[in-house]
Amino acid sequence: MSIQVLIIGLGQFGMSLAKTLSQKGAEVIATDINKELVDEASNFLDDAICLDATDEVSISKLCPKERDVVICAIGAREASILTTALLRQLGCENIVARATDKIHERILKAVGAKTVINPDLEYGKKFAYKIMFQNVIADEASNDIQLLEINVQPFMIGKTLIELMLPNKYGIIVAAVKKGNSLSRPFPNQKLLKEDKLLLVCNEDAIIKMIEENK
């Protein structure tokens, strides 16, 4: 069963997110107050709806609580804060909200966002490194191989990398283990913990196959 995602806000970021997630097999519902943007999204989504997400009655009709992830991609500060607060009041647990600055980020977390992202800031950092070290590093993503960070999956908890045999089974190489904000070498006999994250070198199809086979 594919992941169900509700995206609120179809600006450049939200539109790109909706298109990419849809192409990757997610079940995407997207909404915006601007009908022209909704019509554009309708070209690649089955469910694109025009409504005001700051209206509790309107947003509740989308049954946001039933979605695996709800992404508030609205750029305007007041509307994004109000929408995030409404989503939390409606029982949404996994809310990802877009922030434009640190104050905005703190407010979004205070009203119920589980994860807050600043795509402009992240892209700026990434592009700065690319400019500074253009003769040292290349893009970390290609059509085939990517550097991906994932949470330790339930089937991995308490097991070692030797036991998991990820390279042999899926062509997945563990480049590092992340504990909190620290990266460490992936020791083959070290048992993985629930709160760990893994930095993987592989393609997305390998990740999908691994997760599907170990549900």
Q: Can you tell me whether residue 112 is helix, strand or coil?
A: coil
Q: Are residues 98 and 153 in the same domain?
A: no
- pLDDT greater at residue 127 or residue 73: 73
Q: How many CB atoms lie within 10 A of CB 43?
A: 8
Residue 192, pLDDT score: 95
Compute the average pLDDT of residues 50-75.
Answer: 95
Q: Are residues 97 and 179 in the same domain?
A: no
Radius of gyration of the chain (CA): 19
Q: Are residues 102 and 165 in the same domain?
A: no
Q: Are residues 97 and 150 in the same domain?
A: no
Compute the average pLDDT of residues 97-117.
Answer: 93
Compute the average pLDDT of residues 47-70.
Answer: 95
Question: What confidence category does residue 48 fall into, taking pLDDT thresholds of 50, 70 and 90?
Answer: very high
| End residue of a domain, out of 120, 154, 187 | 120
Measured CA to CA in angstroms, residue 32 lies from 35, 79, 136, 138, 184 at distances of 7, 12, 42, 36, 42
Q: How many CB atoms lie within 10 A of CB 200?
A: 22
Question: What confidence category does residue 207 fall into, taking pLDDT thresholds of 50, 70 and 90?
Answer: confident
Q: Can you tell me whether residue 87 is helix, strand or coil?
A: helix
Residue 17 lies in a domain: yes
Compute the average pLDDT of residues 151-177.
Answer: 93
- CATH code at position 86: 3.40.50.720
Residue 160 lies in a domain: yes
- CATH code at position 178: 3.30.70.1450
Q: Are residues 111 and 167 in the same domain?
A: no
Q: Which residue has the tokens 């592009």?
A: 127
Q: Are residues 109 and 153 in the same domain?
A: no
Is residue 34's pLDDT more than 90? yes
Percent with pLDDT over 70 in the chain: 91
- pLDDT greater at residue 161 or residue 25: 161
Q: How far apart are CA 6 and CA 107, in angstroms?
A: 21
Q: Are residues 67 and 19 in the same domain?
A: yes
27-31, 40-44, 146-150, 162-166 — which is least confidently predicted?
A: 146-150
Q: Are residues 102 and 172 in the same domain?
A: no
- Structural domains in the chain (count): 2
Residue 157 lies in a domain: yes
Q: Are residues 151 and 111 in the same domain?
A: no
pLDDT per residue as tens digits for the range 109-145: 999 999 999 988 887 777 676 666 555 444 554 556 7
Residue 128, pLDDT score: 72
Residue 162 lies in a domain: yes
CA 138 to chain centre: 23
Compute the average pLDDT of residues 11-36.
Answer: 93
Residue 125 lies in a domain: no
Q: How far apart are CA 94 and CA 68, in angstroms?
A: 7
Residue 138, pLDDT score: 45
Average pLDDT in the chain: 89
Question: What confidence category does residue 27 fall into, taking pLDDT thresholds of 50, 70 and 90?
Answer: very high
Residue 96 lies in a domain: yes
Q: Are residues 23 and 113 in the same domain?
A: yes
Q: What domain range is 99 assigned to?
A: 4-120
Residue 161 lies in a domain: yes
Q: Are residues 35 and 109 in the same domain?
A: yes
pLDDT per residue as tens digits for the range 179-200: 988 889 999 999 999 999 999 8
| End residue of a domain, out of 80, 102, 120 | 120
Residue 131 lies in a domain: no
Q: Are residues 79 and 153 in the same domain?
A: no
| End residue of a domain, out of 68, 103, 120 | 120
